[in-house]
Amino acid sequence: MNSFWITQANSQAYPTLSNSTNASIVIIGGGLCGLATAYYLSQNTKDIIIVEADRIAYGASGRSTGKISAQHGYIYHNLLTRYGKKLAKQYYEENTAALAAIDEIIKKHAIACDFEYCDATLYAMNEEEVKTLEKEYQAYLSLDIPCTYQTADSLKSPMQAQLTMHHQARFDPYRYAIGLASYLAKKGIRIFEHSTLRDIKKADDCYHLYVNEHIITAHDVVFATQFPFLDDKRFYFARMYSEQEQIIAFAKANIKQQMLLHIGNHPIQSIHAYHDHTLVAGNSHKSGQMKKDSYNELQKLAQAWVQGRFLTQWSSQDYITFDKLPMIGYLSSEKEHLYFASGFRKWGNTTSHIAGKRIAAMIFHQPYQENIFAPARLSSFFSLSFVKENGNVLYEFFKRKRKAEDVDFPSVNEGKIMNFDDHLYGVYCDEHNMLFIVDITCPHAGCICNFNTVDKTWDCPCHGSRFSYQGNIIKGPAQYHLNAFGDGFNTLDPHFLLKDDDTK
């Protein structure tokens, strides 16, 4: 289901790649990260192609809560404890600079997206959460982050404590993205929608990218796709995990504070009072592993909190590294001319601009700050979370192989996993009682997809690929669709190795 932002905006359509071509730089992914990277690159060259498998900003970029902030939950205490003051300070300063850069881009290019400054508040609801919030407050003080801390005595609400970061911002992320894309297109940047990368091969001093049965030849390639198309023996599939959350839009709610974020473990995690609407986000879970009836629980809790009229709902998804820092930089080595950005931990509005500016500097050999976000860092390996999440992947891979499946066909708007001829298929019944039966073995690594009751999609519980109930790709890392029943089994290709192009 499309987000509140997408349904309200009129977007420009871009062509599908229909012939082979070449460019100095190709960016895979037309979300905010890809667009921001193209923006910073365009200050030195126009020979850039953006390739998007769906529509511009139809993924996480157009499905967020619209917050632009350096307040990313319980993060600064952890950064101080684990990495020290220098890194924690840099994290805050780069996110703050990204917020200012967004403001500058909007003003310079007259992008109408309701950008405005406001406060962002982290809150606690019980004594245990207050202790955690106090630690974060002390971290703010240590890092000289402007803030206000309030306890229950001064609050006229159920909240027990609040930590407010001042001069943050909010906007309509989708209108910002399509406005930025429009500017880039007018400047001569080539943008292609509905153009899916199927393969990439090394050819002498360039790369051949196989898109829509055509070849794009490029010197530099940027993967702005959340999950890298190519792993190149760096085990990215094991170094981060995908997480989904549900977002519900209400009209005429009673929330006064504009941007709220809960520091504890509660179904409601984020509240954004956006003009006459309120967006409530929560029910976070690993992609493809939503618990039955959890969405209904979230809706009831949100309704009781905001007391608004329900408008719509959708889900969003992002990747999280085990050290909670994004990955931005060289995919494998400086010699390969391959770049990658991911692990934004649901804070892609600012992090996408950090990534775009940093990758542009790398490509043009310009100076940039010490890369605390380098994908090659070892801190994303071998933590307790690393062991736990990768154990979960193995569990999901094997559990469906031995689980009994449904024998009754689904009801209207319901999806079920069924067994035909000793193979698992996903069966969905639409409002016209039409059945859509697809092979739900994920084409990325062979896990079995589960049905998402909110978006009516088939989602992979291992690495986060998403497909429509018809089997079309919504989100990688998978690069092939789900075959319909009778069309054979799905093609599996995890793209673990970079291959040389032997074609002449």
Per residue in 83-92, pLDDT (tens digit) is 999 999 999 9
- Give a yes or no: residue 418 inside a domain: yes
pLDDT per residue as tens digits for the range 277-299: 888 888 777 777 766 666 677 88
- Give a yes or no: residue 344 inside a domain: no
The CATH number of the domain holding residue 431 is 2.102.10.10
Residue whose entry in the numeric block shows the structure tokens 């890194």: 87
Q: How many domains does the chain have?
A: 1
Residues 179 and 128: their CA atoms lie apart, in Å, by 44
Identity (one letter) of the amino acid at 368? Y
Residues 327 and 225: their CA atoms lie apart, in Å, by 12
Residue 422: which domain range? 387-475
- CB-based contact 143:92 (threshold 8 Å): yes
pLDDT per residue as tens digits for the range 11-60: 889 999 999 999 999 999 999 999 999 999 999 999 999 999 989 999 88
- Give a yes or no: residue 142 inside a domain: no
- Give a yes or no: residue 202 inside a domain: no
DSSP string, 24-46: EEEEE--SHHHHHHHHHHTTT--
504, pLDDT greater than 50: no
3-state SS assignment for residue 491: coil
Residues 88 and 80: their CA atoms lie apart, in Å, by 6
**Tokens encoding 417:** 């996993």
- CB-based contact 467:288 (threshold 8 Å): no
- Give a yes or no: residue 422 inside a domain: yes
Residues 391 and 238: their CA atoms lie apart, in Å, by 10
**Tokens encoding 84:** 């020290």
Residues 449 and 461: their CA atoms lie apart, in Å, by 6
Within 201-347, where are the H helices?
A: 236-239, 294-306
- Give a yes or no: residue 391 inside a domain: yes
Q: How far apart are the first and last CA of the chain?
A: 44
Residue 233's alpha-carbon distances to 90, 333, 372, 430, 435, in angstroms, are 29, 12, 21, 41, 40
Closest CA to 30 of 501, 475, 496: 475
3-state SS assignment for residue 311: strand
The CB density around residue 33, as the number of other CB atoms within 10 Å, is 31
Measured in residues, the chain has a length of 504
What are the phi and psi torsion angles at 157 (to 5°)? -160, 170
pLDDT per residue as tens digits for the range 110-164: 999 999 999 999 999 889 999 999 999 999 999 999 999 998 877 777 788 999 9
From 47-61, 180-194, 478-492, the region with the lowest mean pLDDT: 478-492
**Tokens encoding 186:** 């007018």
- Give a yes or no: residue 394 inside a domain: yes
Sign of dihedral through CA atoms 112, 175, 290, 385? negative
Give the model's confidence band at 219: pLDDT under 50 very low, under 70 low, under 90 confident, else very high: very high
Give the model's confidence band at 199: pLDDT under 50 very low, under 70 low, under 90 confident, else very high: confident
Cis omega before residue 326 (within 30°)?
Answer: no
Give the model's confidence band at 487: pLDDT under 50 very low, under 70 low, under 90 confident, else very high: confident
Radius of gyration of the chain (CA): 22
- Give a yes or no: residue 361 inside a domain: no
Q: Which pTM was predicted?
A: 0.86
